């Protein structure tokens, strides 16, 4: 199907069902020992990851989460012991809600992606991948805030190329890297609900310096690739994970060498008709 050898790093099988567990745990392990509870904003996987990591370390995580976020992802935050704080759907509304929350409570903010500790944690996915598949010439990753992609750049350390993949409807990373300056997120309309954030500043710098190319895919391509993975690999991935799959499927077939795709998460509830 791909015209090349393809390996998958199945972060849908990771704790909390997404690579976000890596960065959240690393960030908490790097907080001063005196620090108490933590707070973040997230439409889902980072929120659940922070709740999971916080509980492991005896802390409470508050998760500012849009009320229209996936029910599945909101439930996961609570299942791991996190406390949901509602906010509106726009990224700006999350940030306002965070500021209000921090005025009222003493909790350390753990950003979802724009932080060296988060990037380093997410990079362990690529470290493990390249241990298992040293012959990979490219690592393909979805880009939302850019933590996974930046971690891939740091972890691969020039030994292979990183290819970022984004929905057309959330192409701020593509356009930011093309223009050489960070652009705001587009309205949150893509089915790939993990990729709606704007690129973090640190992540922008890492990706820009490494000249990471960004491939764009349509909503139809994302849906088709999601279902293709369900059908052929018999594993559950969420649409965000299917973005690099969709992109690799339409890549020039003359390119050679094994590639690795990071399937970023599996937090979706498919329907049984």
Residue 1 engages a second copy in binding (rule: CB under 8 A): no
- Phi, psi angle pair for 262, to nearest 5°: -90, 115
List the catalytic residue out of 20, 190, 241, 264: 20
Min separation Cβ 223 and a second copy, Å: 6
How many CA atoms, within 13 angstroms, populate the side-chain half-sphere of residue 141?
29
Number of residues in contact with a second copy under rule CB under 8 A:
22
Measure the CA–CA gap between 62 and 78, rounded to whole angstroms: 10
Active site annotation includes 43: yes
Q: What is the DSSP string of 4-32?
A: S-EEEEEGGGSGGGBTHHHHHHHHHHTS-
Which of 8, 9, 12, 150 touches a second copy by CB under 8 A? Answer: 12
Window 13 to 32, contacts with a second copy (CB under 8 A): 13, 17
Choose among 104, 105, 100, 54: nearest CA to 77: 54
Measure the CA–CA gap between 1 and 154, rounded to whole angstroms: 30
Residue 273 engages a second copy in binding (rule: CB under 8 A): yes
Choose among 41, 82, 25, 8: nearest CA to 266: 8
Active site annotation includes 20: yes
Structure-derived torsion over alpha carbons of residues 130, 133, 138, 139, reported in degrees to the nearest 10: -60
Residue 211 engages a second copy in binding (rule: CB under 8 A): no
One character per residue 162-201, x = contact with a second copy (rule: CB under 8 A): -----------------------------x----------
Residue 226 engages a second copy in binding (rule: CB under 8 A): yes
Residue 235 engages a second copy in binding (rule: CB under 8 A): yes
Measure the CA–CA gap between 68 and 1, rounded to whole angstroms: 35
One character per residue 72-101, x = contact with a second copy (rule: CB under 8 A): x-----------------------------
Which residues are tagged catalytic? Answer: 20, 43
Interface residues with a second copy (CB under 8 A) are 12-13, 17, 72, 191, 223, 226-227, 230-231, 234-237, 239, 266, 268-273
């Amino acid at each position: 199907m791909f015209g090349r050898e393809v390996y998958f790093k199945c972060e849908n099988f990771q704790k909390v069902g997404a690579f976000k567990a890596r960065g959240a745990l690393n960030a908490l392990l790097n907080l001063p020992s005196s620090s108490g509870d933590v707070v973040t904003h997230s439409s889902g996987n980072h929120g659940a990851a922070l709740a999971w990591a916080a509980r492991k370390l005896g802390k409470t995580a508050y998760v500012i989460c849009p009320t229209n976020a996936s029910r599945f992802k909101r439930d996961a935050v609570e299942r791991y012991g996190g406390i949901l704080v509602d906010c509106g759907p726009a990224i700006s509304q999350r940030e306002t809600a965070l500021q209000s929350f921090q005025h009222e409570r003493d909790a350390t903010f753990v950003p979802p992606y724009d932080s060296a500790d988060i990037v380093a944690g997410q990079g362990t996915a690529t470290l493990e991948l390249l241990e298992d598949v040293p012959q990979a010439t490219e690592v393909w990753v979805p880009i939302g805030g850019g933590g996974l992609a930046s971690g891939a750049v740091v972890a691969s350390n020039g030994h292979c190329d990183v290819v970022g993949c984004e929905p057309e409807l959330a192409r701020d990373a593509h356009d930011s890297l093309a223009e050489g300056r960070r652009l705001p997120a587009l309205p949150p309309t893509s089915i790939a609900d993990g990729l709606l954030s704007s690129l973090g500043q640190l992540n922008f710098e890492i990706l820009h310096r490494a000249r990471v190319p960004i491939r764009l895919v349509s909503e139809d391509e994302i849906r088709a690739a999601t279902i293709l993975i369900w059908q052929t690999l018999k594993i559950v991935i969420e649409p965000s994970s299917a973005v690099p799959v969709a992109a690799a499927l339409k890549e020039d077939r003359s390119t050679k060498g094994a590639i690795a795709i990071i399937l970023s998460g599996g937090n979706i509830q498919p329907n049984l008709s």
